[in-house]
A = this chain, B = another copy of it.
Amino acid sequence: MQFKFYIGTKVLFGKGCVAENKAEFGKYGKRALVVTGRHSGKASGALDDVIAVMDGLGIEYRIYDRVENNPSLDNVKEGGDVARDFKADFIVGIGGGSPLDAAKAVAVLAVNDMDPLELYNNSFKNKPLPLLAIPTTAGTGSEVTPYSILTRKDKQTKMSFSSEDIFPKVAFLDARYTESMSYSVTVNTAVDALSHAVEGFLSRRSKAVSDILAVESIRLFGECSRSLLENSIDFETREKLLYMSTLAGMVISHTGTTVVHGMGYPLTYFKDIPHGKANGLLMEEYLKFNYGYVKEKIDKVLGLLGLRDIEEFGGVMDKLVGKGLAISEEEIDLYSSIAVQQKSTSYNIRNVTKDDMVRIYRDISLKAAN
């Protein structure tokens, strides 16, 4: 037996957790940069709660709310410059995966004068600023991971960098902040979380300790799937989805993701497909591709979800994220060339070649045509 288990983040879960744990904000200094997107911080109510706490504690803050969807290196460079100008002691990230991942990069760049490309060295001269993370979606898991996924225009895809030093110090999980998500964002992000749990469970790098968390996360998705399918998502379901997505984040903190993420990134980069949806489109073919290699575990996944077989799983995904996606042969060739180079691809339990990827993308395109 050999494993590492480490979650460098204190998770505080529950309605009102920001106000109830305001002391956490006081631990990291007197000047904070809030990193968020244009809308989610405000719409979710999280930004107001954070401001109220910081005003109460006499913490000075500036708000950087220019995080793009799928943030670029230029974007986080700008955020880092703002943090440095403001002399921030710590960073508060509010939003979905994009703002949280950007906040991690900003925390590094604020105290390291370097080209953002050097983030991918995964080690930094100066320790990143402490980060408090407040998710407003239930999917990313970024609030409990040492990863930041940024768009690499030079590589025409998204790529993650990683360091134990970018684990958020604290994650505040209040499901009320996820209530402002539209139905489609709710579904896409939930499917993203499911892909984390399933990919982590089936990964070459899975361990007994990550499997415990993956199993519980998948089981919880199963408990929520009817609500998701029927668009009848009450607060209790929102809490379950937030909890399951954080568990799934803890899973990939140990296993990484695999080929679903590797192949999903080009769909987001070139076709602007939301990240969770991209993963959902790929999941059925992914399970079919791996079935002979990890049959028992895939059967367990299906059992936890209350599903008979992979076809039925595919039917659920079709309803949640749509049935396939038209992709041209030229696109398929390009995406496969890029995806096969992703590190996450190498963690898949079955070796994946470019030709395998071509076949999988084709199947998805074919599905859209039928």
Quick one: CB contact mask for A1-26 with B, threshold 8 Å, 1 for yes?
A: 11111111111111101000000000
A213 interface contact, C-beta 8 A: yes
Copy tally for this chain in the complex stands at 2
Say yes or no: B10 contacts A3, CB within 8 Å: no
A284 interface contact, C-beta 8 A: no
Say yes or no: B6 contacts A13, CB within 8 Å: no
Quick one: CB contact mask for A158-183 with B, threshold 8 Å, 1 for yes?
A: 00000010000000000100000000
Q: Name the residue of chain B whose CB is nearest to the CB of A7.
A: B7
Q: Name the residue of chain B whose CB is nearest to the CB of A219.
A: B212
Given contacts A212-B216, A213-B212, contact A12 B7 (CB under 8 A): no
From B2, B6, B7, B13, contact of A4 by CB (8 A): B13
From B2, B8, B14, contact of A3 by CB (8 A): B14
Say yes or no: B2 contacts A10, CB within 8 Å: no
Q: Name the residue of chain B whose CB is nearest to the CB of A14.
A: B2
A283 to chain B, nearest CB (A): 24
Say yes or no: A13 contacts B7, CB within 8 Å: no
A243 interface contact, C-beta 8 A: yes
In the bound assembly, the distance between CA atoms of A1 and B247 in angstroms comes to 14
A220 to chain B, nearest CB (A): 9
The bracket for how many chain A residues form the interface is 20 to 34
From B1, B213, B239, contact of A13 by CB (8 A): B1
B residues near A164, Cβ cutoff 8 Å? 10
A294 interface contact, C-beta 8 A: no
A208 interface contact, C-beta 8 A: yes
Within 8 A of B (CB), among A3-55: 3-15, 17
A44 to chain B, nearest CB (A): 18
Q: Name the residue of chain B whose CB is nearest to the CB of A213.
A: B212
In the bound assembly, the distance between CA atoms of A213 and B210 in angstroms comes to 11
B residues near A9, Cβ cutoff 8 Å? 6
A160 to chain B, nearest CB (A): 20
Say yes or no: A208 contacts B243, CB within 8 Å: yes
B residues near A14, Cβ cutoff 8 Å? 1-3
Closest 10 CB pairs of A and B: A2-B14, A6-B10, A5-B11, A1-B239, A3-B13, A212-B216, A4-B12, A212-B212, A1-B13, A2-B13
Given contacts A1-B243, A2-B15, A3-B14, 14 further A-B contacts (CB under 8 A): A1-B239, A2-B17, A3-B11, A3-B13, A4-B11, A4-B12, A5-B7, A5-B10, A5-B13, A6-B11, A8-B10, A208-B243, A209-B247, A212-B212
